[in-house]
Structure 1
């Protein structure tokens, strides 16, 4: 019979107590969602992987300073958002041109249309201001409650709602052609 799963806070306490596997379990639980936030924010999978790694190293080093006032997932995502914002600022100071991604389409009903739609959505998200893109990624894509997204972004819940609303409106205008294609 497998041992019962420990809570995130119990894993933090176990890590502080010397359990080397506890932090690994936190990474397994939250790494995929963190990567998804990073790739949507930074728009490049390699940059996202680097950002997640940087955030996890920072969390590992600072875990003794975690006070437990927020959920562990919220704390990890806050660190990640800070890393992503820092990377975007550096990118603006030293812009580079990324290599184009090479996607292998799924074997679904219309793989060309699905890939094209995904690329259109990714391009539209990239046109949003970073604050709107992060709010939409956390709330609409990742499914975070507005209150938790507000904690991660260190803003009021109303600010998250307004950023999402403005971002959704802009996405609707940018992606209106997709809806028209369904008719």
Structure 2
């Protein structure tokens, strides 16, 4: 059975690799919501998320010729976005550390009973794993490939991250 959606996406990827801007725009249109959700939940701030997605898409467009397997496009672009989010997160964290002198134990965690707040309490890596799984719909082996980790390691980190969130939400 021919999967029309997947087949047409592969054709768009092939055309994009040959420099077809319209084909790449169509690929982006199909995935932009997932990319933005991932970036937003990873970085917390809409402007940072938009910036990360824009930078990732530009990098993907410039480097699509280096995509080895056409069927790996989504994982490949999410890996680029993941790297952009890491960079933004590090930059934001460094800025925040310079702007605040409140010790961690004095921070108000009253708002942590909200799922989003619980998510934001996770480490950068934990947020990425949960976001890839929940928003991207990726399996542990795919996430492992994007983060250069074994699938079993991803599963255990995801389990621990979700348990942290459960404890905060109780």
TM-score, length basis structure 1: 0.76
CA–CA distance in structure 2, aligned partners of residues 118 and 10 of structure 1:
45
Question: Shift in Å at residue 52 of structure 1?
Answer: 0.3
Contact 1:52 1:80 (8 Å CA) reproduced: yes
Taking the aligned partners of 1:164 and 1:69, their CA distance within structure 2 comes to 27
Write the deviation string for residues 157-182 of structure 1: whole angstroms up to 9, x where unpaired: 11110111110111110001xxxxxx
Q: Which residue is equivalent to 2:121?
A: 127
Alignment of 1:40-79 (within 5 A): 40-68=41-69, 71-79=72-80
- Judged with a 3 Å threshold, the aligned counterparts in structure 2 of structure 1 residues 71 and 126 are, in CA distance, closer, same or farther, namely same
- The CA distance in 2 between the partners of 1:91 and 1:85, in whole Å, is 10
Is 1:149 the counterpart of 2:143? The answer is: yes
User: Structure 1: any 5+ residue segments left out of the alignment?
Assistant: 98-116, 177-183
C-alpha distance in structure 1 between counterparts of 2:121 and 2:12, whole Å: 38
Q: CA deviation at 1:18?
A: 3.7
Name the CA distance, whole Å, in 1 between partners of 2:8 and 2:74.
11
Runs of 4+ in 1 over 6 A off after TM superposition: none
**Length-normalised TM-score, structure 2:** 0.82
Which runs of 5 or more residues in structure 2 are unaligned?
Answer: 100-110
Task: Give 1 or 2: higher helix fraction.
Answer: 2
Structure 1 partner of 2:106: none
Q: Secondary structure at the match of 1:142?
A: coil
For 2:54 and 2:113, the matched residues in 1 are separated by 25
Q: Any conservation in 2 of the 1:8–1:72 contact (CA below 8 Å)?
A: no
- Alignment: residue pair count: 154
2:108 maps to none
